[in-house]
Structure 1
């Protein structure tokens, strides 16, 4: 298992612009936390200060997990949403969470980190409260199945590995 610092040093895919937003500002973070009604994990903000959303490097694009519809041994983590005003970025951002939770009938309160409708990776604030350190969960929207991936965002990042490391 890599340290958070090791993963963070090469977290973002350097060549793919998809989902990449303008640089993060203090005002955007304050606005995001106010609109989402939660304190975002500092380790998440650390990654977003480096690059505000985008595609994850191939070395860190999967998380080991119990069996899901996706695979027997991992879940994908191919991108991470950045922070920008909802509906204004031309792409999905963390601030689109309230709309997506309603649209896809997802549990709440969560903050969606990644996903595409059928499945989501999220910070789950249901048990820890809005100021807590939320676990990271996999939400399988079609099968109505949830899976805990890590007790907090830092541990989730430290568990990341290459999807190519898993047999097909």
Structure 2
């Protein structure tokens, strides 16, 4: 993943801090947050993708997932459940509180290309609200 070579996890640019959805989630009506990304490797008091097996078990998520972002109540993961060895995994939103999930993108490249600013969604809501 070239992204991890450039920066091994951490805060995401404000211009790429959300992914639009086609249905509501527990987070919002039309997007999910992506304000930080886990890196690879262990650092004190910081979760990494290597913590996925523990986090998957702790939060009752599917085993064939590598978590890349989340806070415990929700997660975004690279989902290997249906792709097999020859295809790319999808990127899926997992809501641990209501035990729901939503495929966000067919692959990680599409997920990255689809990221946008959370401010776009906030400004759309503000434009539609009465004064």
Q: TM-score, normalised by structure 2?
A: 0.89
The answer to whether residue 29 in structure 2 is matched with residue 72 in structure 1 is: yes
Per-residue deviation, residues 57-114 of structure 1 (Å, max 9, x unmatched) = 0000000012001100000001111100xxx411100000000011111112000000
Q: Alpha-carbon deviation of 1:129?
A: 2.4
Q: Aligned runs of 1:21-60 on 2, under 5 Å?
A: 45-60=1-16
Unaligned runs of 5+ in 1: 1-44
Q: Which one has a larger percent strand, Structure 1 or Structure 2?
A: 2
**C-alpha RMSD over aligned residues:** 1.1
- The match for 2:17 is 61
Moved over 3 A (4+): none
* Pairs aligned (count): 121
Unaligned runs of 5+ in 2: 126-131
